[in-house]
C-alpha cells in the first residue's frame, strides 16, 4: 500500500466524521469563488490530535488555511497576513511547524486583530470562518471552566465581533469533544461544523466539507448537552472515588429518560441533501430481528445517510432507559433520486437487562418498540415486538458488585421522558410480532474459577522444546513453558525496557527492536522466541521521536500516517471505514516492522471533561464496540479472512473514564451498569473480532485494580466471553506486580517488575501454575503474530 493511499483514506474518513450542527441560509457549502476571511489561531495551527500516547509525533499536517487554499479559495489577505505573522512568531510553542500545539494555547484572541481590521475584512470578503480549538490528553482532564469546556471570553468576543461584522459566519469547532456553547447562543452564526481532531489531512478534509466536495454525513456519537450541569455525571470529578450513581443512564439514555433537552442529540448531524426512509420486510425469528430500510436521496446533491434503530424496552422489575441503540447502517453515497436498500438486524437478547438480584440477563414481558430514523430524537416507530413472559437470556453470577451502600443510584421515577407528537398513535398502529418465549434457551456462563491452571512439568526426555517446535507441530506451548526456570518466567511476564530512552515524549517509547515504539516482549535465543514489539494507538502507529533528527527512527516516524481520532471515526458511523482504518494501520505496522498496536480505545464517553475522550468512540456501547471490532478485523485479517499476524490491543479494560489520578482512582459502578454499558464494547470487540490482546486500565473498579481483578479478567473476559488472547497492563500501573498473574493479567508493561515476580515465585506467594498460564498465553500471541508473519512472507 502506498502512503498516499492511506493518506487519501485519512482525508475521506476525516471529512466523513465531521458533523454539521447548524446551517442556516445554506451558508455551507461556500462556493469556490467566494473570498473567505479566516479567523482563530487553530485555523493556522490546528489541534491535529490530543496529547499523550493517542497523539502522533512526526506527521506534516495540512492546516485549515492550507486546505482551503488547496481547494482554490482566496483568503482575505490582511487577516491571513496578521495570523501567519503571529503563528510564525509562536512556532516554538507549536513544537515545531506542522506538528501540534504542545498542551494548551492560553491566548484565545491571540493574534490581536483590531475591530477596524475585522470591519475592513467584512467589506471585501463574503463570508467569515472562525475556528475555535480545544485539546486535552493523557492525565489531563478538561475543567468546567472558561477556556476549557466553556468558551473563553476572548473567544466569545472574537466570534461576536466577526459575526456582527459579517453577513455570514461559519464556526469550526476543532475540539477534543463536547463543548458548552451557551455563551454564543443568539449570536449571528449561520453554520457550526464540528471538525473535531482528525489527523494529518485536517485542512483538506475541512475544505472538502466547506466546499461541498463531500456532503456532511457525520452524526454525533455522543450527546452535546446545553451545559455541563445537565449531565448526570457532573459531580464526582477531581476525586479519586467516583460513584457512578447514574447507573445505566449514560448519555442519551439519561437525557431521553429524564426528559432533559440536549443541545444536539445523540446521532444528530445535518446534511447538504435530504433523505426519505421506509422500513419493510420485518422478520422476527426467536429473538433475532431482521428488516430492510429503503433510503432515498430526495435532495439536490449526492450524500450518505445513517439509519439508526433504537429499541424501547418495557419497564418491569427493572427500570429501562427510554431507548437503546440496537442497530444501524450507513448508505453509500447516493446521487439525487437514487435509493439503497439497507438490511438491518439485531438480536433482542443483546438488549436484555441485567438483573443483579438473580445475576441474569432478562427480557421482561411487554412491548418492545423498535424505532428508526436519522438521530435519536428524529425517529418513527417501525414495529413492536411483544413478549408475553420473561425470557432469561444469560445466567451468570455477580462478580463485580460494589459494597453495599457505595452507590446512591438515580431512578427515573417522577420524571417525564422525552416524547414527540404522534408517538403513542404510531405505537398503537404498529405491526406487532410476538416471540415464542419457550423457544429461547438461556446461555449459561461457565465458571472459569473451576478450571484453575495446573502446574506444568517438563517432559524430562532430554530434549529442549522451542517455539519453533510448537510451530512445526512437534510440541505444545505448554512443553516449552514447562521448561522455564523461575527466572525465565519472571522475564516473559514482563516487557523489556529500552533503558536509553531519550525520546522527547516520555510515554510509549521503550522498545529496543523498533526505536520509538511503546514496548516489546521478552525474546530468547534458547527457546527461539522472537521479539514482539507494540506501538500506540489509536490515531496511527505512533513512533516517538528521539533527539537525533537525522536518525532513521525519525524518518520511520514520518512514514506513519496520522488518522482521525476515535471520536471522529465513530461520528462517521461507518464500519467499512473502521475496517479500512484497520487495514491502513496494518500496513503501517508492516512498514515499521511492529507486531502489535495499542488500540483501539473503546471506553465509554461518560463525562465530557475526560481528557482522553477524543481517543474513545462514543457514549453508546454498541457503536463503540462495533467500531472497535471492525478496526480489529482490518488489522488482524486480510481480505480473505486469513490472519495477518498483526494485532490490536483493545484498551483500557475497563472504566478508565477520567484521567484525574487515573493510576489510583476508583470507579464505583453497579454490576448492571458495568455489564450493560461499560464492559459491553469490550465484549462486542472480543466476541466479534477476537483481538489478540487486551490492555487493562490503570484505575480500580469497586475497590480492586482492573489489572489485578480476577473476576474482570479470568471471570468475565475469559470465562464468560471466551477470550483466549493475551492481557497486558497499561504502562507502569500501580497494582501489586505479583497479583497480576493470578488474576489473569499476563504481561506487565513496559516491564519493570521482574524482581518482584521472581520474589513471588521463590517465596511461593505467586503460584507457579498461574505464572505458567500467563506465559502460555503470551507465547500463543507470539505464535499467532511473529510466526504467522514469517510464514506469510
Ligand atoms: C497509556 C496507554 C498507552 C501506553 C503506552 C499509557 O500512558 O495510558 O494508552 O498505550 O501508555 O504508550
Distance between CA atoms of residues 531 and 343, nearest Å: 44
* Best probe residue, ligand 1, of 730, 734, 751, 752 (max atoms within 8 Å of C-beta): 730
Q: Ligand 1 pocket by C-beta < 6 Å: which residues?
A: 53, 138, 507-508, 518, 536-537, 598, 651, 730-731
Reduce the DSSP state of residue 362 to 3 states and report it: strand
Atom 6 in ligand 1: residue holding the nearest Cα: 731
Which distant-in-sequence residues (6+ apart) come within 8 Å of 274 by Cβ? 297, 298, 299
Question: What is the DSSP-derived secondary structure letter of residue 18?
Answer: -
pLDDT of residue 505: 38
pLDDT of residue 445: 72
| 704-705 vs 693-696, strand pairing mode | unpaired
pLDDT of residue 95: 62
64: left (phi over 0), alpha (psi -120 to 50) or beta: alpha
Strands (E), 351-412: 353-355, 360-363, 366-375, 378-387, 391-395
pLDDT of residue 450: 57
Helix H, strand E, coil C: the string for 470-484 is HHCCCCCHHHHHHCC
Cis status, amide bond into 600, omega within 30 of 0:
yes
CA 763 to chain centre: 42
pLDDT of residue 446: 59
The residue assigned the cell 506501538 is 535
CA 511 to ligand 1 centroid distance, Å? 13
pLDDT of residue 321: 98
Q: How many CB atoms lie within 10 A of CB 769?
A: 14
* Best probe residue, ligand 1, of 137, 138, 498, 656 (max atoms within 8 Å of C-beta): 138
CA 344 to ligand 1 centroid distance, Å? 36
Average pLDDT for consecutive 10-residue bins of the chain (793 residues)?
A: 97 98 97 97 90 85 97 97 88 59 54 89 96 90 92 93 97 97 97 96 98 98 98 86 97 98 98 98 95 98 98 98 98 98 97 96 97 98 96 94 93 98 98 90 68 90 97 97 97 81 51 84 95 95 72 78 97 98 98 97 97 97 98 97 97 95 95 98 98 98 97 94 96 96 96 94 98 98 96 81
* Best probe residue, ligand 1, of 598, 655, 691 (max atoms within 8 Å of C-beta): 598
CA 730 to ligand 1 centroid distance, Å? 6
Distance between CA atoms of residues 679 and 681, nearest Å: 6
Which atom of ligand 1 is nearest to 615's Cα?
Answer: 9
Contact call for residues 655 and 701 (beta carbons, < 8 A) = yes
pLDDT of residue 56: 86
CA 734 to ligand 1 centroid distance, Å? 14
CA 716 to chain centre: 21
Which atom of ligand 1 is nearest to 54's Cα?
Answer: 9
Amino acid at each position: 500500500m502506498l502512503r498516499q493511499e492511506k493518506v487519501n483514506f485519512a482525508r475521506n474518513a476525516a471529512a466523513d466524521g465531521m458533523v454539521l450542527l447548524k446551517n442556516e441560509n445554506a451558508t455551507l457549502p461556500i462556493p469556490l469563488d467566494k473570498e473567505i476571511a479566516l479567523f482563530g489561531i487553530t485555523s493556522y495551527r490546528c489541534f491535529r490530535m490530543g496529547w499523550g500516547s493517542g497523539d502522533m509525533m512526526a506527521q506534516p499536517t495540512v492546516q485549515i488555511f492550507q486546505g482551503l487554499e488547496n481547494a482554490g479559495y482566496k483568503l482575505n489577505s490582511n487577516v491571513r497576513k496578521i495570523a501567519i505573522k503571529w503563528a510564525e512568531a509562536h512556532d516554538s510553542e507549536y513544537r515545531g511547524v506542522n506538528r501540534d500545539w504542545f498542551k494548551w494555547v492560553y491566548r484565545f484572541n491571540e493574534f490581536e486583530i483590531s475591530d477596524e481590521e475585522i470591519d475592513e475584512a467584512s467589506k471585501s470578503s463574503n463570508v467569515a470562518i472562525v475556528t475555535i480549538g480545544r485539546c486535552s490528553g493523557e492525565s489531563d482532564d478538561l475543567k468546567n471552566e472558561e477556556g476549557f469546556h466553556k468558551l473563553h471570553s476572548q473567544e466569545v468576543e472574537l466570534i461576536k465581533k466577526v459575526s456582527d461584522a459579517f453577513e455570514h459566519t461559519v464556526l469550526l469547532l476543532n475540539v477534543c469533544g463536547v463543548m458548552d456553547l451557551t455563551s454564543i447562543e443568539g449570536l449571528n452564526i449561520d453554520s457550526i461544523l464540528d471538525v473535531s481532531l482528525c489527523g494529518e489531512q485536517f485542512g483538506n478534509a475541512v475544505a472538502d466539507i466547506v466546499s461541498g466536495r463531500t456532503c456532511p454525513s457525520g452524526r454525533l456519537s455522543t450527546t452535546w448537552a446545553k451545559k455541563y450541569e445537565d449531565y448526570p455525571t457532573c459531580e464526582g470529578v477531581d476525586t479519586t472515588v467516583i460513584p457512578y450513581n447514574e447507573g445505566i443512564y449514560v448519555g442519551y439514555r439519561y437525557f431521553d429518560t429524564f426528559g432533559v433537552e440536549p443541545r444536539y442529540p445523540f446521532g444528530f448531524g445535518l446534511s447538504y441533501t435530504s433523505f426519505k426512509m421506509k422500513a419493510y420486510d420485518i422478520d422476527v425469528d426467536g429473538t433475532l430481528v431482521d428488516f430492510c430500510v429503503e433510503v432515498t436521496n430526495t435532495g439536490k446533491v449526492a450524500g450518505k445517510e445513517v439509519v439508526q434503530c433504537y429499541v424501547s424496552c418495557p419497564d418491569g422489575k427493572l427500570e429501562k432507559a427510554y431507548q437503546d441503540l440496537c442497530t444501524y447502517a450507513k448508505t453509500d453515497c447516493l446521487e439525487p433520486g437514487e435509493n439503497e436498500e439497507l438490511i438491518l438486524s439485531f438480536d433482542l437478547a443483546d438488549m436484555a437487562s441485567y438483573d443483579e438480584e438473580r445475576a441474569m440477563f432478562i427480557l421482561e414481558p411487554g412491548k418492545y418498540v423498535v424505532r428508526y430514523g436519522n438521530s435519536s430524537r428524529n425517529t418513527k416507530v417501525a414495529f413492536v415486538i411483544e413478549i408475553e413472559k420473561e425470557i432469561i437470556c444469560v445466567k451468570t453470577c455477580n462478580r463485580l458488585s460494589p459494597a453495599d451502600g457505595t452507590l446512591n443510584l438515580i431512578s427515573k421515577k417522577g420524571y417525564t421522558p422525552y416524547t414527540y407528537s404522534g408517538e403513542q398513535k404510531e405505537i398503537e398502529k404498529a405491526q406487532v410480532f410476538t416471540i415464542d418465549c419457550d423457544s429461547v434457551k438461556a446461555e449459561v456462563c461457565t465458571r472459569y474459577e473451576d478450571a484453575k491452571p495446573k502446574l506444568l512439568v517438563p517432559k524430562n526426555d532430554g530434549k529442549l522444546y522451542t517455539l519453533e517446535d510448537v510451530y512445526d507441530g512437534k510440541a505444545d506451548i505448554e512443553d516449552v513453558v514447562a521448561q522455564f526456570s523461575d527466572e525465565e518466567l519472571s522475564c516473559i511476564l514482563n516487557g523489556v525496557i529500552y533503558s536509553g530512552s531519550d525520546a522527547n515524549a516520555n510515554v510509549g517509547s521503550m522498545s529496543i527492536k523498533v526505536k520509538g515504539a511503546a514496548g516489546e516482549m521478552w525474546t530468547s535465543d534458547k527457546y527461539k522466541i522472537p521479539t514482539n514489539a507494540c506501538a500506540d494507538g489509536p490515531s496511527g502507529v505512533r513512533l516517538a521521536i528521539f533527539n537525533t533528527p537525522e536518525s532513521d527512527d525519525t524518518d520511520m516516524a514520518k512514514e506513519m500516517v496520522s488518522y482521525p481520532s476515535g471520536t471522529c471515526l465513530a461520528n462517521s458511523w461507518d464500519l467499512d471505514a473502521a475496517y479500512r482504518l484497520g487495514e491502513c494501520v496494518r500496513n503501517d505496522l508492516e512498514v515499521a516492522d511492529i507486531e502489535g498496536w495499542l488500540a483501539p480505545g473503546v471506553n465509554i464517553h461518560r463525562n465530557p471533561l475526560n481528557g482522553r475522550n477524543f481517543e474513545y468512540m462514543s457514549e453508546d456501547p454498541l457503536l463503540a464496540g462495533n467500531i472497535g471490532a471492525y478496526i480489529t478485523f482490518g488489522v488482524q485479517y486480510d481480505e480473505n479472512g486469513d490472519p495477518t499476524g498483526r494485532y490490536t490491543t483493545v484498551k483500557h479494560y475497563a472504566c478508565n473514564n477520567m484521567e484525574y489520578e487515573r493510576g489510583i482512582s476508583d470507579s464505583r459502578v453497579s454490576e448492571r451498569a458495568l455489564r450493560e454499558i461499560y464492559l459491553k464494547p469490550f465484549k462486542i470487540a472480543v466476541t466479534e473480532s477476537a483481538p489478540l490482546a487486551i490492555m487493562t486500565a490503570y484505575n480500580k473498579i469497586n475497590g480492586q485494580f482492573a489489572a489485578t481483578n480476577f473476576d474482570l479478567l479470568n471471570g468475565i473476559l475469559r470465562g464468560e466471553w471466551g477470550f483466549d488472547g493475551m492481557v497486558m497492563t497499561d504502562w507502569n500501573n500501580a497494582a501489586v506486580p505479583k497479583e497480576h498473574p493470578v488474576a489473569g493479567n499476563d504481561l506487565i508493561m513496559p516491564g519493570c517488575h521482574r524482581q518482584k515476580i521472581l520474589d513471588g515465585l521463590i517465596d511461593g506467594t505467586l503460584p507457579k501454575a498461574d505464572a505458567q498460564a500467563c506465559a502460555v498465553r503470551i507465547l500463543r500471541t507470539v505464535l499467532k503474530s511473529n510466526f504467522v508473519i514469517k510464514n506469510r512472507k
